[in-house]
Chains A and B, each alone.
Chain A
């Protein structure tokens, strides 16, 4: 620890995964995440790891399912259209209780969309990553350093709860370079996973990694059990950063790239004497409801700033039970909002010009 190196976000996330003991990477090239795969293809053969370029995102996520089922620490990375292709596999992974790490370096959509940064996969990441009742752990870093810092924890929590975890990055965080301190290497990446399908060595019954339950009552029971686990996660794993929020009358809620812009806007507003603050979700699922609810008493209004047409704004309203007006400002299609634009919204709200009640 200690030494800082200048790294691109996509490369830093790959190195952090290696430091966290990940030795298995399966992926398919797509802009703007390709550096993750390229970095892995360079590093993995040197450290006895596996880098394999699948023939598609569909194949890659199923390779992740296989490796995860066999009990190793495994990851993939892609960008928005790739996540759509992985949706089936993610659902199976969740339904089979297999841990893994999925990185989404978001770009503009829908369709082929664009290749510039976006946050328009929020719904997909937090609410509908595939068919059926399930959740993923979703982490939203806002700096290259935080990307590095979140990777080990994402693996750990995925293993702990036996579920997929996602780092929801974007084209800006993935492509930008910042100084980072890399974490210490995890010496023994092989976890004890007695449930894994890795060969029973004639020492136990056979393990089955499966998501099929023909009896509806059995399937219901298993899904309900999984949701009890989700409830426990909501209770203990919410994470957010609060910035000048304790006395704020106007609270911006923003994650990832848009939170960087919003932080600058909060600073500019404070200089004008406007009591603005920021709550930055670090976990998007579980959504940090507690961090928002505690400010509902003193805040006059909340403003969700996103690089989408407004997705997280729904969760902000639910988190405070609609007890305060919740407004939205966003740019989409790959356009990054400027601090000035966000400041204009803060100034408008400071004047009481709410669009919603």
Chain B
């Protein structure tokens, strides 16, 4: 297999602000590669959310809109309804998508909006410095769960793909990770399928990427990957939770 070292065209040649070992960079690259492969940069509009990924508007070469915290699905709905010929995606973290923006997410999904949500689940709020997220694991220590997340008082984590897969408007709900080459390839295929489904008008697609946050987890990049495998993946099993294309066959 030839090693491709070039930067995808849809990823601008600017330094990313992400911490060492953060998987945002990999996911950005995968999204940009898919945009390149499908030849859709000129008609794609991305919607940046609030959190670590807010600056995606500086990184992707397509047109970008920056949404208020949690509102990316609503903003993307507005863009897509105004310009159905455009390909529209949101790029959201767990706080944005599953806490403050859960209402917008569920309803965009229920409406079957023809948008793609790239969902970064790293079980913590990164940008604000490591507070509990809706996906923080039981017992996980964060700045605001200093004694570990006690589900009796802080509630339980939300498994987003499982939750959304019950909705008729969802065309694709798949959980992936990018901890190794094999999984990176699976993630890219999933992202590509999501964009293709949108172009076929199938409805709402969400690709949940189980991700790392070495800085706020207090781990080295290498240990963070291991922590993801040991703790995140058992709670958030990888796989396809809904695939309208598969269901047809």
**A binding-site residues for B, Cβ under 8 Å:** 24, 26, 50, 52, 54-56, 58-60, 62-72, 74, 88-89, 92, 96, 196-203, 206-212
B164 within 8 A of A: no
Query: With contacts A74-B82, A210-B66 known, is A62 near B54, CB below 8 A?
Result: no
Known A62-B78, A70-B45; judge A206-B103 contact (CB<8 A).
no
Which residues from A are CB-within-8-Å of B184?
none
A197 near B64 with CB under 8 A, answer: yes
A202→B41 contact, CB < 8 A: yes
Given contacts A67-B78, A70-B82, A71-B82, contact A62 B65 (CB under 8 A): no
- For B80, the closest partner residue in chain A by CB is A66
Asked whether B66 lies within 8 Å of A212 as measured between CB atoms, the reply is yes
In the complex the two chains form, is A63's CB within 8 Å of B45's CB? no
Which residues on the A side are within 8 Å of B104 (C-beta)? 55, 58-59, 62
Given A24-B81, A56-B103, A71-B82, CB of A199 within 8 Å of CB of B63: yes
- B62 at interface (Cβ–Cβ under 8 A)? yes
Residues of the A chain whose Cβ atoms lie less than 8 Å from the Cβ of B43: 199, 201
Chain B residues closer than 8 Å to A56, beta-carbon distance: 103
Q: Which residues of A contact B242 (CB under 8 A)?
A: none
Closest to B100 in A: A58
A68 and B83 CA atoms in complex are apart in Å by: 11
With A62-B78, A201-B42 in contact, is A96–B66 under 8 Å at CB?
Answer: yes
Q: In the docked arrangement, what's the CA distance between A201 and B58, Å?
A: 18
Q: Which B residues are in CB contact (< 8 Å) with A50?
A: 81-82
A63, A92, A210: the one contacting B81 at CB < 8 Å is A63
Q: A71-B82, A199-B45 are in contact. Are A89 and B62 (CB under 8 A)?
A: no
- Asked if B23 is an interface residue, CB under 8 A from chain A, the answer is no
A202 to B42, CA, bound (A): 5
Kindly report which residue of chain B lies nearest to residue A196, judged by CB atoms: B63
Q: Known contacts A62-B74, A63-B74; is A209 also within 8 Å of B82 by CB?
A: no
* Alpha-carbon distance between A70 and B84 when the two chains are bound, in angstroms: 11
The smallest beta-carbon distance between A294 and chain B, in angstroms, is 42
Question: B57 to chain A: which residues have CB within 8 Å?
Answer: 208, 210
Given contacts A62-B67, A66-B81, A200-B62, 15 further A-B pairs with CB under 8 A are A26-B78, A54-B107, A55-B107, A58-B104, A66-B74, A70-B83, A92-B68, A196-B63, A197-B64, A199-B42, A201-B42, A206-B61, A206-B62, A206-B63, A208-B64
A247 CA / B42 CA spacing, docked (Å): 62
Q: List 30 A-B contacts (CB under 8 A).
A: A58-B104, A59-B77, A62-B78, A62-B104, A63-B75, A63-B78, A65-B74, A65-B75, A66-B76, A66-B82, A67-B78, A69-B78, A70-B45, A88-B68, A196-B63, A197-B65, A200-B42, A202-B41, A203-B42, A206-B12, A206-B62, A207-B64, A208-B64, A208-B65, A208-B66, A209-B64, A209-B66, A210-B48, A210-B57, A210-B64
- Number of CB contacts from chain A to chain B under 8 A: 140
Q: What residues of chain B lie closer than 8 Å to A55, measured between beta carbons?
A: 103-104, 107
Q: Given the complex of chains A and B, what is the CA–CA distance between A54 and B82 in angstroms?
A: 15
User: How distant is the Cα of A282 from the Cα of B12 in the complex, in angstroms?
Assistant: 47
Chain A neighbourhood of B61, CB < 8 A = 206
Query: Taking A67-B81, A67-B82 as contacts, is the C-beta distance between A59 and B103 under 8 angstroms?
Result: yes
Residues of B within 8 A of A96 (CB): 65-66
Task: Say how far B103's CB is from chain A's closest CB, in angstroms.
Answer: 6
B103 touches A207 (CB 8 A): no
Chain B, Cβ-Cβ closest to A72 = B82
CB nearest to B74 among chain A residues? A62
- For B77, give its contact among A66, A71, A196 (CB under 8 Å): A66
Within the complex, the shortest CB–CB distance from B107 to chain A, in Å, comes to: 4
Residues of chain A lying within 8 A (CB to CB) of residue B65: 65-66, 69-70, 96, 197, 208-210
| A68 CB to nearest B CB, Å | 7
**CB nearest to A50 among chain B residues:** B81
Contact between A63 and B77 (Cβ–Cβ < 8 Å)?
yes
Q: Which of B102-157 contact A (CB under 8 A)?
A: 103-104, 107
- Contact (Cβ within 8 A) A89 B71: yes
Q: Are A62 and B63 in contact (CB under 8 A)?
A: no
User: Which residues of chain B have C-beta atoms less than 8 A from A89's C-beta?
Assistant: 68, 71
Smallest CB–CB gap between A198 and chain B, Å?
A: 5
Nearest B residue to A207 via CB reads B63
Lowest 6 A-B CB distances belong to which pairs? A66-B78, A62-B74, A63-B78, A197-B63, A67-B78, A66-B75
Instruction: List the B side residues contacting A52 at CB < 8 Å.
Output: 77, 81
Bound form: Cα–Cα A209–B76 in Å: 12
Minimal Cβ-Cβ distance residue in B for A60: B74
Closest CB-CB distance, A332 to chain B, in whole Å?
Answer: 32
Q: Specify which of A58, A64, A197, A203 lies most central, judged by the most chain B CB atoms within 10 Å of its CB.
A: A197
Q: CB < 8 Å: which of B44, B47, B74, B81 contacts A199?
A: B44
* Any A CB within 8 A of the CB of B86: yes
Closest Cβ of chain A to B82, distance in Å, is: 4
Does B79 have its Cβ within 8 Å of any Cβ on chain A? Answer: yes
Contact with A198, one of B63, B66, B67 (Cβ below 8 angstroms): B63
Given A198-B45, A199-B44, A200-B42, A62:B64 Cβ within 8 A = no
* Beta-carbon nearest neighbor of B57 in chain A: A208
A65-B62 contact given A55-B107, A199-B42, CB 8 Å threshold: no
On chain A, the residues within 8 Å of B74 by CB distance are: 54, 58-60, 62-63, 65-66
Q: Which one, B86, B103, B107, contacts A70 given CB within 8 A?
A: B86
B172 → chain A closest CB, angstroms: 22
Q: Give chain B residues whose Cβ lies under 8 Å from the Cβ of A88.
A: 68
